[in-house]
Structure 1
Amino acid sequence: MPLLAALTASEGDRPDAVQVAGVALSREQLLGAAGAVAARIAGAPAVAVDATATAETVVAVVGGLLAGVPVVPVPPDSGPAEREHILHDSGAVPLPPVDLAERGDWARPGTRPDATAFILYTSGTTGAPKGVLMPRQAVAADLDALAEAWEWTADDTLVHGLPLFHVHGLVLGVLGPLRIGSRLLHTGRPTPAAYAAAAGTLYFGVPTVWSRVTQDASAARALRGARLLVSGSAPLPAPVFRDLEALTGQRPVERYGMTETLITVSTRAGGERRPGSVGLPLPGIRTRVAAEPGAEIGELQLTGPTLFDGYLGRPEATAASFTEDGWFRTGDIAAIEPDGMHRIVGRASTDLIKSGGYRIGAGEVENALLDHPSVREAAVIGAPHADLGQEIVAYVVAEGEIGERELIDFVAGHLSVHKRPRKVRFLDALPRNAMGKPQKRLLPPA
């Protein structure tokens, strides 16, 4: 089956099959405009797409996929150095301006399933961003697995306002509808009002989006008619989960993935959804936790058909990301419950805290802090400590009068005493990236 199977299907087409920031295209119009792009870029080693939240970006990406040219999404807010690195490292040619009215009839032979669909740049803790080589067959496998898990069909209308240079907004949020056949309504910006007005059946959002939706009760209640609310790209705080349930009448679906693996674990449309749980492995995915003897948590490792082909030009980094027996090392710390449900408690590099002989997941402490009615945001780290090895330090955005001791005691009353913060630092806001993930390396010194 072609990667974008629904794009060429005549049945079910409509003038607003794909709508981005108010600009609507039928699938026929999208295919024609993308065909013209494909004709212009055929044979290029890769094509760089300035991934703004526009219909032109969708046309450009589809054109690259039709032509079999690897697409390199470039974040529109990239600084000059980052942009230059992406273009030089990938060898991508800049895409000429896209004309939505242009038409082309692209009828070249199909591209091999193992060919590269995307070169997606992802940053680690050190060094320049690495280019993730994502094959077409991995994208297809992931979208089919998600369609099964979420009961996602051509009858759905998918609504989101996510950036179009990440897996969440681009691969799931654009290619998903073009493979499955559902309508896509991209709101431009993911505001509560825009989500409420969209009248969709399936919604994608990051935790920041869902937090803002719950703060607008009328907008949240307008989502009661939706079939599924999906949260990803960062852990969904338990209070936001509960507020969504109270206001919309349904528990959100949480899922887990990475640029290198796409989405690999998710709760199900017809299954149990628990706060703090990202659910079960998708069809074809196997997972395991590499934990020290006696430990409940450890690094999540996995294997399956959705994995990348390696880092562009980085054979040593590629080799280091896999175990000796071929499992991908996510670098995320997780626990697998007896019933198979997965909990992600943080990154090994920043969120696994070793204090006084205990191994503590920062995410568990963060969720406990967020249960306090005055706490709006929380980030927890392990800071060097002469006696404990590391001490737990919490950075908190709070409302009203609240003190350090009150929060320390609050956590100790909810979790084991050894998981309580030793210090609490109050901030006006946490540093976050475009997807709403806290950037702990940018926190002030403990």
Structure 2
Amino acid sequence: MADAPLLTALQGGPDRADALTVDGRSSSYEDLLGAAGAVARKVAGAPAFAVRATASLETVAAVVGGLLAGVPVVPLAPDAGPAESEHILRDSGAEVVTVDFAERADFTPAAPTPAPASAPASASADADRDADPSPYRNAALVLYTSGTTGPPKGVLVPREAIAADLDALAQAWQWTAEDTLVHGLPLFHVHGLVLGVLGALRTGSRLVHTGRPTPQAYAAAGGSLYFGVPTVWHRVARDEAAARALSGARLLVSGSAPLPTPVFRDLHALTGHEPVERYGMTETLITISARAAGGRRPGAVGTPLPGIVTRIAESADGIGELQMQGPTLFAGYLGRPEATAASYTEDGWFRTGDIAAVDEDGTHRIVGRASTDLIKSGGYRIGAGEVENALLDHPRVREAAVVGAPHADLGQEVVAYVVADGVTAAELTDFVAARLSVHKRPRTVRFLAELPRNAMGKPQKRLLPPL
């Protein structure tokens, strides 16, 4: 029997030969459990193990096998360089396990370790949790952050947090076993792995992973529920035939980065669907989302999921740091109690580091990261995201990233990096000033051939060239 708290769809539910398809290869639940059982036997008793998380049935079997055995899985990006891989393996103490999907074995999971009564909420709670003799704290997954402020940290993701999150999302998105989920996202992040694989295995929806998230692959998949990141949706919106093929879907979901307003509008025009946007982090899983039954608007990520409580701290001009509590939060950073404690406020709220605003109806809007996307210029607080959306409204601008740069008089000035053709910096400055407040206009515009992005398509502002 599969892991009871999480993999409910694998427990004797309806099976089919193509219950999941990954990069053109299909499997039934029975075959998946057999392959996962072989992995579970191989890793049983290990403190943790790692897997090269390619878009493959082998990766799915490895993760399910870890859940069966109660052994934390450390997914490695398949394109991770030697230094990054060495750091993650050394930091986690995990060894890479190879998987042969043709192997089959039965495996009876041990009784799960009782979960803590509630998620950690403060440094004192961290101290209590540190009394657990295992550094992994009943984690199902150890997902490594991008390392923007130092070496990547291992985020301990409990199975109870995953179950709570997937159930809340199933309710919010009306996600059932009748759906066919389609996506082509990497299987080493929350979006592609937790939502895009474990979500299907919990709800019982058929899964089609396209291998690569091309517009043509999405159009051919015939799904009812689609997951994508803004880069994927931008490419779909530029392929009119592929976009119109998605008109028969039930729901398009975008995440991992803000969806530009022009892409939202283009998708709506071509598919008839207003995309659902949602917000989350590796440390929190998905905590805020628009609903399948409800209004959606560009730039808004919806309202908190059941059990999630949010607040805006140090609010000024209606925006401030987003902080939260709830059952989907992580169990800490592996081997870094000080970093775990520092991620919470003294009164027990998780500090997301993201700047947000909440509308009167409770709808949340994410302005950006506190470190890079809140610009303080001439006494004004400016969200980089709204300036980026204004720039992307220009017909000749394909990509835009906005940051604050030191300025002797203003404190910071608004600087825009854009990918565009046939337009001048002055024209773009005037274009923004005509749509937003004048003080939000870029004072410097830098033209690039492309923006640096990570595997999820999110712009990496720390990699932008200096002025």
Q: TM-score, normalised by structure 2?
A: 0.93
**Which residue, 203, 226, 229 being the options, matches 1:203?**
226
Per-residue displacement from partner, 1:83-102 (whole Å, max 9, x unpaired)? 0111111111221x322221
The aligned amino acid for 1:150 is: W
Q: Provide the alpha-carbon RMSD of the alignment.
A: 0.9
State the Cα distance separating 1:113 from its structure 2 match. Answer: 5.7
**Which residue, 336, 341, 344 being the options, matches 1:322?**
344
The aligned amino acid for 1:43 is: G
- Counterpart in the other structure of 1:77: 79
CA distance in 1, matches of 2:64, 2:154: 20
3-state secondary structure, aligned to 1:376: strand
Pairing 1:358–2:380 present:
yes
- Counterpart in the other structure of 1:8: 11
CA distance in 2, matches of 1:126, 1:147: 33
3-state secondary structure, aligned to 1:230: strand
Is the CA contact (8 Å cut-off) linking 1:8 and 1:28 kept in structure 2?
Answer: no
**Which residue, 279, 283, 296 being the options, matches 1:260?**
283
Report the number of matched residues: 442
Per-residue displacement from partner, 1:44-98 (whole Å, max 9, x unpaired)? 0001010001111101111011100000000111111110111111111221x32
Is the CA contact (8 Å cut-off) linking 2:141 and 2:158 kept in structure 1?
Answer: yes
Pairing 1:338–2:376 present:
no
**Which residue, 335, 341, 345 being the options, matches 1:313?**
335
The aligned amino acid for 2:221 is: A
CA distance in 2, matches of 1:113, 1:303: 21
CA distance in 1, matches of 2:48, 2:164: 23
Is the CA contact (8 Å cut-off) linking 2:164 and 2:327 kept in structure 1?
Answer: yes
The aligned amino acid for 2:442 is: P
State the Cα distance separating 1:40 from its structure 2 match. Answer: 1.0
**Aligned positions of 1:57-68 closer than 5 A:** 57-68=59-70
Pairing 1:445–2:466 present:
yes
Is the CA contact (8 Å cut-off) linking 1:160 and 1:186 kept in structure 2?
Answer: yes
The aligned amino acid for 1:345 is: V
3-state secondary structure, aligned to 1:291: strand
CA distance in 1, matches of 2:109, 2:234: 46
Pairing 1:186–2:189 present:
no
3-state secondary structure, aligned to 2:368: strand
CA distance in 1, matches of 2:76, 2:251: 30
Percent identity over the alignment is: 76
Per-residue displacement from partner, 1:125-170 (whole Å, max 9, x unpaired)? 3211000011110000000000000000000000000000000000
Stretches of structure 2 that go unaligned for 5 or more consecutive residues are: 116-137
Pairing 1:23–2:25 present:
yes
CA distance in 2, matches of 1:112, 1:159: 33
The aligned amino acid for 2:279 is: Y
- Counterpart in the other structure of 1:156: 179
- The structure-2 alpha-carbon separation of the partners of 1:387 and 1:67, relative to structure 1 and needing over 3 Å to count, comes to same
Is the CA contact (8 Å cut-off) linking 2:179 and 2:206 kept in structure 1?
Answer: yes
**Which residue, 4, 11, 34 being the options, matches 1:32?**
34
- Counterpart in the other structure of 2:131: none
Pairing 1:242–2:265 present:
yes
CA distance in 2, matches of 1:405, 1:199: 45
Is the CA contact (8 Å cut-off) linking 1:8 and 1:27 kept in structure 2?
Answer: no
- Counterpart in the other structure of 1:421: 442
For CA contacts below 8 A with separation 6 or more, give which structure has more relative contact order. 2
3-state secondary structure, aligned to 2:162: helix
- Counterpart in the other structure of 1:385: 407
Is the CA contact (8 Å cut-off) linking 1:113 and 1:135 kept in structure 2?
Answer: no
Q: TM-score, normalised by structure 1?
A: 0.98
Is the CA contact (8 Å cut-off) linking 1:245 and 1:251 kept in structure 2?
Answer: yes
